[in-house]
Amino acid sequence: MRVAVCKRAATPLRALLLAAVALLPLACATPGERFATVDSALTRDGPEAALSRAESLARGGGNAALDHLHAGMLLHMAGDFEASNERLEAAARRMDADDPFSLTEGLAAVTIAEGVGAFVGQPHERVALHVIRAFNFMAQQQWDAARVEARQIDLRLNALAGRSGFYRDDAFARYVTGLIYEELGEIDDARIAYRKAYRAYDEQRETTGVPVPRPLQQALLRLTADAAFADEHAALRTVFATTPEPAGRGEGGRAIVILGHGLAPRIREISVNAQHPQTGRLYRVAVPAYGDSRQPLRDARVTSGGYEVRAEVVQDIDRLARESLSERMPGILARAATRVAAKNQMVGQARDQNPVLGVLVNLFTFASERVDDRAWTTLPGQYLLAEVPVDDDPATIALELRGPGGRVWREQITDVRVEPGQTRFVFAHALSPHVPLHRPVAGEG
């Protein structure tokens, strides 16, 4: 190719050719495809093995925030709560810096590929970041720091209140803030948070499939038992007609088990390839879709002393992710159609200048049409929660997990120390039949 050809090339064509070198990895494998080995390590060997693999795959750049999110979640599972919060804070800083993305990145999304811009996460992922940070502080009994994350959750959710779409609030995140405020003795704030959680569960039940959890119902009844809230308490008792009286904390206190169940769904690619019968030009359209749910359990029960409680689903991240993609799909399809036209024009320009160049550009435009499959897939597919009174100190909490085909896993968590009148939060993750229960070793001794 002579230099004169390059001088005659139109600006969009030159930009495409210059981008080709940087985007060759995108044309070969998407971030989600590269991360599949981390998922395999996590579900086969646990978070420690997955973390080592994830760090070796981290590429930084526009995916730096996602790298930090994955590392932060894996460190949380492994019990390194301080390091987890450091990585999650780094992810938050990066996403705040990259959102909103630049005009150049927006143009690339409609001319080259969806995943060209920096990863900034979906709204439910941005909220989940603060929830996991709160969990890390709760596990370490650092309640003042947990309050800071509760405030961050409030600020982020309040900012979402006016947006269109189904995700304008997060019932589970509101519930977590209520738990934090109640443990701090800030009862007014806890009551407000529980009310917001109740409304969010009730309003989003049809979309998320998650009813108002009984522990939340009990918390609302407990915090409105004062005479000043007699009318509200009576109304709630009518609505929660089948809910038992608020559970006491026992002589020792209570334990709240928060179980991450499975993993968030992975995005897969659905593509249609075609070749023009006259010109031989190649065309490709790729759209994202979610694969099967990755949740190994059918049921989970928690026992402490003479109490046995069935763990309830309090958040379905799998469902949130699918609903989010469904809402974004019209825009994704519109950009895909725009890219087909833009790439076809670029190929035509290149062919007019040099037939060989036209073929090369066509091959690149074909190969670069990949979906943006970046997502925080190390999040649990669901969160389950059970609250049990604890009468002994230290106490033993037993978990019974049931999977498909009647398969049962049993695990005892010993030496759970609960001070009188206090709450101990116990975090665990059921990842797969190979890793049915993984519990952080730090923070609960």
SS3 242: coil
| Higher pLDDT pick, 59 / 222 | 222
Q: Average pLDDT for residues 105-125, to the nearest whole number?
A: 73
- What rounded mean pLDDT belongs to the chain? 87
314: its two tokens? 């309090």
Statement: residue 224 has pLDDT above 90 = yes
Q: What is the pLDDT of residue 8?
A: 41
432: its two tokens? 């797969």
**Helix or strand (DSSP H, E) at 12:** helix 11-28
Please state, as a whole number, how many other Cβ atoms lie within 10 Å of the Cβ of residue 351. Answer: 17
Statement: residue 11 has pLDDT above 80 = no
Q: Report the chain's C-alpha Rg in angstroms.
A: 25
Confidence of residue 108 (pLDDT cuts 50, 70, 90): low
With a pLDDT cut of 90, the percent of the chain lying above it is 60
Q: What is the pLDDT of residue 393?
A: 72
Confidence of residue 28 (pLDDT cuts 50, 70, 90): low
Q: How far apart are CA 160 and CA 154, in angstroms?
A: 10
Q: Average pLDDT for residues 84-96, to the nearest whole number?
A: 96
Q: What is the pLDDT of residue 394?
A: 82
- State the sign of the Cα–Cα–Cα–Cα dihedral 352, 358, 361, 363: positive
Please state, as a whole number, how many other Cβ atoms lie within 10 Å of the Cβ of residue 317. Answer: 25
Q: What is the pLDDT of residue 415?
A: 80
With a pLDDT cut of 70, the percent of the chain lying above it is 87
Q: What is the pLDDT of residue 16?
A: 52
Closest CA to 88 of 106, 105, 69, 70: 69
Alpha carbon distance, N-terminus to C-terminus of the chain: 69
Residue 416 contacts by C-beta under 8 Å, 6 or more apart in sequence? 255, 390, 394, 395, 396, 397, 424, 426, 444
Q: How far apart are CA 445 and CA 443, in angstroms?
A: 6
Q: How far apart are CA 93 and CA 396, in angstroms?
A: 40
Q: Specify the range with the lowest mean pLDDT, choosing from 121-135, 203-217, 345-359.
A: 345-359
Q: Specify the range with the lowest mean pLDDT, choosing from 79-88, 108-117, 179-188, 227-236.
A: 108-117
| Higher pLDDT pick, 230 / 306 | 230
Q: What is the pLDDT of residue 48?
A: 93
Statement: residue 129 has pLDDT above 80 = yes
| Higher pLDDT pick, 147 / 418 | 147
Residue 220 contacts by C-beta under 8 Å, 6 or more apart in sequence? 191, 194, 195, 198, 236, 240
